[in-house]
Structure 1
Amino acid sequence: MRQPSVAVIGTGFGGLGAAIELTRAGIDDLVIFERGQDVGGVWRENTYPGAACDVPSPFYSYSFELNPNWPRRYSRQPAILQYLREVADKYDLHRYIRFGTEVTAAEYDEATRKWRISTGQGGVVEVDALVSAVGLLSRPSWPDIPGRETFQGASFHSAQWDHDVDLDGKRVAVIGSGASAVQFIPEIQPEVAHLTLFQRSPPYIVPRPDTEFGSWRRRVLGALPGLLRVRRAAWWAVGEAIAVSFLYSRVLSRILTAFSRRHMRKQVPDPALFEKVWPQYPVGCKRILFSNDYLPALGESNVAVVDTGIESIHAGGVRDGSGEFHEVDVIIYGTGFTASDFLAPLRVAGAGGRDLREEWSRTGSRAYLGISVPHFPNLYVMYGPNTNVGAGSIVFMLEQQAKHLTSAILHSARVGSPIAVRPEVAAAFDAEVQGRLVDGVWTKCASWYRDASGRISTNWPGTGVEYRRRTADFRPSDYEPVG
């Protein structure tokens, strides 16, 4: 069997995980493209105050690289980035990585049966298989608000935090109340003169059982790796239970709603403010957020919550939906990411010159197991359509994808031909997934889980256990040779 050549795009959890799985399988003809100057993906890019993961670190890490040295249960951005750097070093991945190299296009050449990859630096690389690990949450989403470009103060997106802007004593507008805003608002509230939060729809908040891990605990975990596995399994079970609660069980869903309401009422004694921050959609429709300090920050005297929408932005401030004008010095956009615009801005052309973005713009983003697309031979997508989790750890899902695509690449090498998922297999899978989603909780509100047409193109409709079972069973009959 001739060893296949493989290119991976991205060095976040997905890209590094894929590279490790491929090299473990003996694939050494590997190149990893990274547009930045360091590994880390979103954990390199997102440096806003308080940036952290809302999944406990023992579960938000690779199962094969358990870490006894997490400083906290819910680690912050610097610790997660350091973990990824250490993983890249341990598995000797730097020898494959081309830093400062952005992939702009990838075209399948039917004559050579290879992928032709073009970079922004003018280089071209040809490989047998291509793995896209550009991530789902890598491109900031900017709201379409009239006058946004006319604002004369400082403004930036939370994912591109401008640390040169001094917020001390400033009037700050925060647009958006999602996961990032829940983390950075408590950090900046004490230093600003006034903070106005423009909230479209509030999240469900539950307690964040965070704790600092002392040196004694880290020493014990380092000496007894079995405890690391037990700890990870416990948090995995919690994630699965939460997923089951809003996917399948109305009783558990009501319990979770009551639990959140109790926590939020305790933290928001002001009835008027509570009415603004209590969600009016079923629990689980948007990702549940963990915080102990966000709601208390909103109750401080220098904070106002506006839930009437935004009419327009002007040179000196923001006019809300009721017509009131708010003078501000700085605007921070906590408006999330273009999650349903998969692979953008990369142009991917498959067999017959098919443009993947054009196809997905017509039909909605879809892929078999979220990984493989018909007519795009030897192309594999990580964190692809319908693989996001409403609860639990995406790292768990990425590990399963890395194993599956490695099996596919090895099978292609054995048969001596590029392979693509059969159209009927992909169509049946998509019909099943969308059928399970049609009346589910994620249809009950507007969120980044849905694309412009309303199709839920991001989330997996089952548990992590089910996804692991289905991806572990690589079936050659699901694929067909191409060319």
Structure 2
Amino acid sequence: MAAGARATDEQPDHQVAIIGTGFAGLGMAIRLRQAGCDDFVVLEKAGEVGGTWRDNTYPGCACDVPSHMYSFSFDLNPSWSRMYGRQEEIWDYLRRCTDKYGVRPHIRFHSEVVSARFDEDACLWRLGTADGRDLTARVLVAGVGPLHVPAYPDVPGLARFQGVTFHSSQWNHDYDLTGKRVAVIGTGASAIQFVPQIARQVEQLHLFQRTPPWIMPKPDRRMRSGIKHLFARFPLAQRLLRNTLYWMLEGQLLAFNGDKRLMKMGEAMSRQHIARQIRDPELRKAVTPKYTMGCKRVLISNDYYPSLARPNVELVTDGIREVREHSVVTADGAEREVDAIIYGTGFKIGDFNSTKIFGAGGVELSELWRREGMESYNGVVTAGFPNMFMLVGPNTGLGHNSIVFMIESQVHYVLRCLELMDRHGAQQLAVRPEVQRRFNRAIQSRMKNSVWQSGCKSWYLDENGVNRTLWPGFTFTYWARLRRARAADFDLVSRNTQEPVRRLLPTEPVREWERVPAGAR
């Protein structure tokens, strides 16, 4: 419903400001251009695009979703070298898309956004960057993603350590690990990729495991030149492969959402994987999880378990008591001298790093989420933060399919919201609090019988045990939900100016992806 008009007609520097140049930020920018909107700016803290795939350069870094699904639906890549793309190849893909779709001229590199404040009188966002520059935008799109702020373990004495330390997402390529004694803390998604690589290089590797992950075989293989040529000449063949992969991945949700028989089958496959690759019964026991599969992220690897059986690798399951100047001491009193510590401890969820985002009434987003829990509506808009859209927001992560599919659905929804503002002649769009509350009650109700609430501790859950991270349904239901923006969900504030209106979307957005059936995208 439209509310009363504001008292100012200040025009912003840009209609839309986008933060970040990963899949989310670039996808938003590309779709804006295709919709006929060139009045936008993309703010990037680094000197090149790529987000996660630019920053994570650790040895063995690769995607755990098949490459042909982990790409934009409007730009299928027939030249993937493997079924599961490696970091360098995915980064190259993002850079190519940036140039192919003419987005690069809109990007301001080395422009880290440190503050974003909504001006309620002017109905626009005022942004400040680390280099002291300011700009305004009618609409703010945060495409920073949830997995970019490193998390570090809370271990006494870390500051005393005299050796080299770094996080897997900030890999120190200048430090030669050859012949070094190395401690790796963490056995999550990053660690199972880089541990096999550095195990061949170091003198001794001590891998500190708190909880073993469930690991499945990785069905990876090289893409033969004939297949790549076929995909390049007949794009429909690649689209068929993408469709097949989509529905295969989508079917896994049946296990996550409560079918214990399917999850038991997965556990049996994982145990067979352990048995085939590890002979030592004690090591087998140490790497076999005791919680229900899926409660934590399920990982895939073919070389992690064999690396643990190497004579220079030790799996340590005792907790770390403290770190000393040149060693790590475990709870049993054992001291292991090391030259370097590598943290494979993942990321902070819901942390906007150095960016402070202030909505209506000066409420700061991260503080609000710490106090009341991380919530949004459709994972895209948040009550109290008008004209702001998040990509990969709360409860839109996945444990079974491609996040790029979710991102494209969200980008489409943002465009529908911009159309809604234009149609109502509105300067401001804000989701109604009761709409957001109703949505989140439904989300948490769906979670109750899922494997994610089966008792284990994971990064999916907040400190109160509430899953604020994952989407509990099929991705095609999410896709359908975000096909349109309903005016009844929002409060819309009309423009108050006699000057010609600057439309957010000068032309009707392209609808090529709406012609493709759900799942085939």
Q: Is TM more than 0.5 here?
A: yes
SS at match of 2:423: helix
Q: Which stretches in structure 1 are left out of the alignment for 5+ residues? A: none
2:354 aligned residue: 345
1:380 to 384, 389, 393: 389
Deviations 1:234-273 (A, max 9, x none): 1111211222212132221111111111112111121100
Matched, 1:459 2:450: no
Following TM superposition, where does structure 1 have runs of at least 4 consecutive aligned residues deviating by more than 6 angstroms?
none
2:488 aligned residue: 477
SS at match of 2:190: helix
2:202 to 186, 192, 216: 192
2:373 aligned residue: 364
Match of 2:473, as an amino acid?
A: G
Match of 2:377, as an amino acid?
A: Y
CA RMSD of aligned residues (A): 1.4
* 1:285-304 correspondence runs (5 A): 285-304=295-314
SS at match of 2:105: coil
Indicate if the aligned counterparts of 1:377 and 1:482 stay in contact, CA closer than 8 A. no
SS at match of 1:179: coil
Match of 1:320, as an amino acid?
A: T
SS at match of 1:312: strand
Distance 2:493 2:458 in 1: 38
1:318 to 299, 323, 328: 328
2:61 to 51, 61, 85: 51
Mean alpha-carbon deviation: is it higher for 20-29 or for 159-168? Answer: 20-29
1:163 aligned residue: 173
Q: TM-score, normalised by structure 1?
A: 0.97
SS at match of 2:43: strand
2:15 aligned residue: 5
1:179 to 173, 186, 189: 189
| 1:410, distance to aligned residue in structure 2 (A) | 2.0
SS at match of 1:108: strand
Deviations 1:113-135 (A, max 9, x none): 11111111111111110000011
Matched, 1:410 2:419: yes
Distance 1:375 1:320 in 2: 46
Aligned residues: 481
Indicate if the aligned counterparts of 1:57 and 1:75 stay in contact, CA closer than 8 A. yes
Distance 2:200 2:336 in 1: 20
Matched, 1:202 2:201: no
| 1:438, distance to aligned residue in structure 2 (A) | 3.4
Deviations 1:325-375 (A, max 9, x none): 11111110000000233x333111111222212211111110001111112
Matched, 1:224 2:224: no
Distance 1:482 1:197 in 2: 56
* 1:422-433 correspondence runs (5 A): 422-433=432-443
2:87 aligned residue: 77
Match of 2:277, as an amino acid?
A: Q
Distance 1:396 1:151 in 2: 43
2:497 aligned residue: none
Flag the structure with larger Rg. Answer: 2
* 1:427-442 correspondence runs (5 A): 427-442=437-452
Distance 1:31 1:247 in 2: 40
| 1:380, distance to aligned residue in structure 2 (A) | 0.3
Match of 1:57, as an amino acid?
A: S
Deviations 1:277-303 (A, max 9, x none): 011111111111111000000011111
SS at match of 2:314: strand
Matched, 1:420 2:424: no
Indicate if the aligned counterparts of 2:416 and 2:484 stay in contact, CA closer than 8 A. no
Matched, 1:124 2:155: no
| 1:230, distance to aligned residue in structure 2 (A) | 0.9
SS at match of 2:430: strand
Matched, 1:271 2:281: yes
Deviations 1:202-231 (A, max 9, x none): 111111111111322211110010111111
Indicate if the aligned counterparts of 1:397 and 1:464 stay in contact, CA closer than 8 A. yes
Distance 1:285 1:252 in 2: 14
Match of 2:475, as an amino acid?
A: G
SS at match of 2:472: coil
1:389 aligned residue: 398
SS at match of 2:323: strand
Indicate if the aligned counterparts of 1:340 and 1:365 stay in contact, CA closer than 8 A. yes
* 1:76-115 correspondence runs (5 A): 76-115=86-125
Match of 2:100, as an amino acid?
A: K
Mean alpha-carbon deviation: is it higher for 245-254 or for 363-372? Answer: 245-254
* 1:28-43 correspondence runs (5 A): 28-43=38-53
Matched, 1:398 2:414: no
1:450 to 457, 461, 467: 461
Match of 1:359, as an amino acid?
A: L
Match of 2:125, as an amino acid?
A: W
Identity %: 45
SS at match of 1:39: coil
Match of 2:366, as an amino acid?
A: R
Distance 1:205 1:238 in 2: 18
Indicate if the aligned counterparts of 1:7 and 1:127 stay in contact, CA closer than 8 A. yes
Distance 1:473 1:274 in 2: 50
Distance 1:158 1:297 in 2: 18
Match of 1:411, as an amino acid?
A: L
| 1:376, distance to aligned residue in structure 2 (A) | 1.1
Indicate if the aligned counterparts of 2:67 and 2:83 stay in contact, CA closer than 8 A. yes
Distance 1:326 1:48 in 2: 24
| 1:305, distance to aligned residue in structure 2 (A) | 0.5
| 1:439, distance to aligned residue in structure 2 (A) | 4.2
1:245 to 249, 255, 261: 255
1:468 aligned residue: 479
